[in-house]
Amino acid sequence: MTHDPTLSAGKVWLIGAGPGDPDLLTVKAARLIGCADALVYDHLVGEGVMDLARPDARRIYVGKEASNHTLPQEAINRLLVDLAREGLAVVRLKGGDPFIFGRGGEELEILAASGIAFEVVPGVTAAAGCAAYSGFPLTHRDHAQAVTFVTGHLKDGTVNLDWPALSRPCQTIVFYMGIGAAGEICRQMIAHGLPADTPAAVVRNGTLPDQRTLLATLATLPGRIVEADIRPPALIIVGSVVELHEQLNWFERP
C-alpha cells in the first residue's frame, strides 16, 4: 500500500532524477520517490537518490548504458504496465530530465495506449547540471545567444547531424553521448566553418564529487579525451562560454 494519500495506486510517475547530486532532485520528485511502492530505475540514477525510497519498496534496475541494456525497451514498457496493473504506485526514474534524450516519451506512449494513468516530473538535465557545477553559463550576452542540445549517438552508429547549423558562431552546442564520436564531431565542426581554436570542453560525472572538466579546443579535444581516458557519462560543450570555467569554477578544486 502507498504511504501517501496523494499517491494513487495503479499509476506511473515518470520522474527526472537529475544528473547525479541527489540535492538537485525537485521537492516533488523526492516526495514521490519516498512514497512509491515500486521504483524502476536506470544506471544514471545516483545512489543517493535511491536511498530516499521506502525500505520495503520494490526496486527494479533496468540498466541502459549506451549499448548495454539490462532490459530491452519493450520489456521495460511491459514491466511498467504490469506493475501499474498490479495496483502499485510506480515511480519510473530516469537520469537528468526524462524528456531529454531519455526515451520518456516512448514509455508514456505505451502507458497511454494501455489506459494507465501517469504524471511527469521534470529533472535537471545533464547540460544544466554540468554548466552550473563547472562554472560556465550556457548562454551569455557576450558569448552565446542560443544553446542547442544534440545527441552524438545515433541509432545506426553514424553522426548524421545538421553540421552547418551546429557550426554557426555565437552559440553553445552541448553533445550528449558524444564521447565515442568526439573525433568526428570536432572534425565536422571545423570542416563546416568553426575555427580550429574554438573553445571546447568535456565534463564527466557532472555534479558528482568526482566531476572532471577538461578545457581544450576543437582541434585538441579528441586527443585530450583519449589522453585523460574520459569515458561516459560525459558531455562535450562547444563554444566560448566554456572559457568562463577558469573564472567561475566553484565546485572542482585542484
Ligand X SMILES: C[S@@+](CC[C@H](N)C(=O)[O-])C[C@H]1O[C@@H](n2cnc3c(N)ncnc32)[C@H](O)[C@@H]1O
Min separation Cβ 55 and ligand X, Å: 27
* 25-57: b (≥16 Cβ within 10 Å) or e: bbeebbbbbebbbbbbbbebbbeebbebbeeeb
Instruction: List the x/- string, 225-254, binding to ligand X by CB under 6 A.
Output: -------xxxx-------------------
- Contacting residue, 12, 19, 24, 221, with ligand X by CB under 6 A: 19
176 binds ligand X (CB under 6 A): yes
Burial of 8 (0-12, 13-18, 19+ CB in 10 A): exposed
Determine the interface stretch with ligand X among 124-132, 162-170, 181-189, 241-249 (rule: CB under 6 A).
124-132
CB 130 within 8 A of CB 202: no
15 binds ligand X (CB under 6 A): no
- Contacting residue, 29, 36, 91, 126, with ligand X by CB under 6 A: 126
Closest CA to 38 of 75, 77, 2: 2
122 binds ligand X (CB under 6 A): no
Residue showing cell 495506449:
113
Binders of ligand X among residues 43 to 102 (CB under 6 A) are: 44, 94-97, 100-102
The residues that are catalytic are 42, 64
Residues with Cβ < 8 Å from 152, sequence gap 6 or more? 159, 175, 176, 177, 178, 179, 180, 181, 182, 185, 236
199 binds ligand X (CB under 6 A): no
Residues forming contacts to ligand X in the complex (CB under 6 A) are 19-20, 44, 94-97, 100-102, 125-126, 130, 176-177, 203-207, 232-235
